[in-house]
Amino acid sequence: MAHVLVAWEVSADSAERNAELRAALKGALKGRSWVRVLTDVHVVKVSSVEARATLKDALLEVAKAEGDIHIIVTPLMVGGSYSGWLPKRLWPKVRERTQEDG
């Protein structure tokens, strides 16, 4: 299963504006399978290099239009195994988006 790790940092002047910008960024994830593992870090399932590029472009479009946003998207990754210290309920969601089918 291919996936990317997407992280963003929003630094607007108010909590309300930060919430608006985060909502706009989450809008770029719409229609994709993703899980938020940390406050602004998401594991996103993608089907191809082209799907990664489409996702990256959608996120950058929000960042360029809105300002006060920094984004990083990892290269496409296939399989692998994350480790760390997260709530137990998140691990099945991470595996769902990162491990090979079947």
Domain of 43? 2-96
Structure confidence by residue, pLDDT tens digits, 70-97: 999 999 999 888 999 999 999 999 999 9
- Is residue 102 over pLDDT 60? no
The dihedral built from the CA positions of residue 78, 33, 35 and 28, taken in this order, carries a sign that is positive
The pLDDT value recorded for residue 68 is 87
Instruction: Indicate whether 82 belongs to any domain.
Output: yes
CA distance 20 to 73: 21
Q: Looking at the 3D structure of the chain, how many domains does it have?
A: 1
**The model's pTM:** 0.90
Instruction: Indicate whether 101 belongs to any domain.
Output: no
Structure confidence by residue, pLDDT tens digits, 11-57: 988 999 999 999 999 999 999 999 999 999 999 999 999 999 999 99
Q: What is the CATH number of the domain that holds 73?
A: 3.30.70.240
The pLDDT value recorded for residue 101 is 58
